[in-house]
Chain A
Amino acid sequence: MAAAIAPVSRGFLQRYAIVILAVVLLAVLPLSLDIFRLGLAAKYLSLAFCAVGIVLIWGYGGILSLGQGVFFGLGSYMMAMFLKLESTGADTSAQALSSFFGSNLPDFMVWNSVEQLPWWWEPFHHVWFTIPAILILPPVVAFVLSYLNFRRRIGDVYFSIITLAFSAILAIVIIGQQGVTGGVNGITDFRTFMGINLDPDNVKIAMYYITCVLLLVCVLIGTFILRSRLGKVLVAIRDREDRVRFSGYDPALFKAFIFAVAALFSSIGGAMFTLQVGLASPSLVGITPSIEMVIYAAVGGRLSLVGAVYGAMLVGAAKTFFSENFVEFWLYLIGGLFIVIVMFLPHGLAGLLDKLPGAKRHRLAALPGPEPDAAGQAAGERPAARLAGEVGGGK
């Protein structure tokens, strides 16, 4: 993936992990990949937003969300609704029918004999509604839902199953309400975004860079949160929730906040996905993709924000490679990956980096991860007082 960098020390990789990531994303990949592969990389990077969020909530918050697909889907569908309305507005055949329906109606609605644009589609005519909605709606939904649950002190496992149920619900509703959501085919066939044609190569490259920058910003925000006192409280909640509660904090508020941040990241990822892949589909909302997003974070290392990006890219690249070459092998690989990571590599690639004892020189340049504290930590043990150091090394 990344170009072979001269052997460097582990400390260097951890210290400059974000800088290295920036170099890889902004220089190495665009220079080494053709436009088609770059498009694929952009697709994985959109999913990496979810993985970064999962590191925040799972690695540091101790909340395993199996519903990040919900927020990815919300962002993706809101963007798709805007793009679809814009394309429909410019479509001459839709204009011809508009006098009949009262306004231009997206093609799949016409096919499903829906005769009027549903009211909740209306505001998505405007980009200045759509973008704030993508940035505000999913975090608010996430905050309200999770705060209510955390307030009731619903346990980790229960919360995971509830989030799983949410992603099942959203997928079922999207597929069931074909007339207004595009059903199982999703919403597709866009041409322009605010008048910019999405097809030419230079637009695609620009989109790629925008995705990279947004992703790096998300990683930086995550690092900032984890280094702040808020991050310390979060880790404390993960390790000993009761003690934090007795100290006068409201753990529910902290957990809900970090959950909302993760939802925001996922939503941005979903919107960028739709812009670049030209599709919003229920196949990225349901339980299978939502759980798959967790493995991205797990491969990179559940305590490493930067690792999550690499994890998403590696798993995504592997998926594409195997789907192109050995389809039947893919499920064995991803299934085995879940088991192996959980059993032998609970801290993912970032943890692997730390296992190299005092490695001053090694060739793992492509796999940095800021996790100085994971070394020597026995699998499954979670020492309570691992506050300091854990979040360090992000930059």
Chain B
Amino acid sequence: MTFDVLAMQAFTGLSIFTILMLMALGLAIVFGLMGVINMAHGELMAMGAYCSYGAARFFENFAPSMMDYYVFVGILLAFVVTSAFGFLLERGLIRFLYKRPLDTLLATWGLSLVLQQVYRQFISSKEVEVPTVSWLQGAWQPTDGIALPLSRIFIVVLAIVTAAAVYWLLFRTRWGLRIRAVTQNRAMAGAAGINTARVDAYTFALGCGLAGIAGSSFTMLASTGPTTGQHYIVDTFIVVVFGGVESLLGTISSAFIIGQMQSWFEFELSGSMARASILLLVIVVLFFRPNGLFATKVRR
């Protein structure tokens, strides 16, 4: 294996890592911190992707000169729309089911089916694509043998920025303090004067908004269809569970490990077999570390 191949493989792994990380960050908050199994998380990603698509179409038709910057509008729109949807979802459905995690799973699965049909009926039953903006076309070539697509580099940067923002929000702001207080000890947080119901709603909305950002960035790599979300959901859960819930750093590390494995396995096996063996490997690891790879020791 030459250095070039090695470098390309490592970059592919890095790219998959950032994609998985974007997908899993939202779920790490919703599932990891709040304990809500949101099976509609994939559909929220699709919602973000459709926001990006809508923004692209809008700029194409009304402001072609600004087309180069629609990406940012798309990401922002995706975050706003999906987090607003998440807020309503929490108020309307999830909050009644906090004590029944397995029922939440079923209800949100139902929601995911409904959303899929909404996408199919009101947007398009076919896959939609967005045009690649001019400054993300092509690839960066540090040497002759290595070509790193710009769009993937953009996603790497976006993922790092998003992760940093989430970290800052959770650990450096009062809101983050409240979120952590509520997730660690709800009763005490309530006694200390925190409006726990409101914190729940905003936390859930944040997690959903992150799903929107993830979906929006995926439009640069692949087309979006009504069932796109379902392709991602199992992998996303696996990343969070593998890393250990209640640990953002664990989620990021597990995304890194799984991303690298995916990249190397795909080099040796076919794509589908690589996916299957990774899932199997994760299950085996979970058997030895039931609380995830990076779980902090918790007394229950």
Contacts and interface: CB of A to CB of B under 8 A. Distances in A.
A157 B102 contact: yes
Contacts of A177: 273
Given A154-B286, A331-B114, A168 B270 contact: no
B106 A338 contact: yes
Given A152-B287, A175-B272, A176-B273, A338 B120 contact: no
B194 to A, nearest CB: 24
Given A162-B286, A168-B279, A176-B270, A334 B99 contact: no
B201 interface: no
Contact of B113 (A154, A169, A335): A335
Given A176-B270, A331-B114, A343-B93, A158 B105 contact: no
B106 A332 contact: no
> Helix, strand, loop or mixed for chain A's interface?
helix
Given A291-B106, A338-B107, A339-B107, 13 more contacts: A156-B101, A157-B101, A160-B37, A160-B105, A161-B37, A172-B273, A288-B230, A331-B120, A332-B113, A338-B111, A342-B100, A342-B107, A380-B99
Interface string B36-63: 0100000000000000000000000000
Interface of B: 35, 37, 93, 96-97, 99-107, 109-117, 120-121, 230, 234, 237-238, 241, 270, 272-273, 275-276, 279-280, 282-283, 286-287, 290
Interface string A152-180: 11111110111011101100110111000
A169 B290 contact: no
A104 to B, nearest CB: 28
Contacts of B270: 176
B109 A338 contact: yes
Interface in A329-347: 331-332, 334-339, 341-343, 346
A298 to B, nearest CB: 7
B97 A342 contact: yes
A336 to B, nearest CB: 7
A153 B107 CA distance: 26
Contacts of B110: 334-339, 342
A1 B74 CA distance: 50
Nearest to B120: A328
Contacts of B276: 169, 172-173, 176
A149 interface: yes
B114 A332 contact: yes
Contacts of B286: 154, 158, 162
Contacts of A334: 110, 113
Contact of B279 (A64, A169, A338, A380): A169
The 6 closest A-B pairs by CB, nearest first: A338-B110, A335-B113, A176-B272, A335-B114, A331-B117, A335-B110
B96 A343 contact: yes
Interface in A274-312: 287-288, 291, 294-295, 298
A165 B287 contact: no
B273 A158 contact: no
B299 to A, nearest CB: 14
B111 A335 contact: yes
A58 B116 CA distance: 27
B237 to A, nearest CB: 5
Contact of B117 (A154, A164, A328): A328
B117 A332 contact: yes
B36 to A, nearest CB: 10
Nearest to A298: B106
Contact of A164 (B99, B115, B121, B234): B234
Interface string A193-211: 0000000000000000000
Given A157-B101, A335-B111, A342-B103, A172 B275 contact: yes
- Residue from the set A58, A64, A161, A164 with the largest chain B CB neighbour count within 10 Å: A161
Contact of A328 (B96, B100, B101, B121): B121
A148 interface: yes
Contacts of B109: 291, 338
A153 B290 contact: yes
Nearest to A328: B121
Interface string A357-381: 0000000000000000000000010
Given A343-B93, A346-B103, A149 B287 contact: yes
Contacts of A161: 37, 237-238, 241
Contacts of B279: 165, 168-169, 172
A169 B283 CA distance: 11
Nearest to B233: A287
Nearest to B235: A168
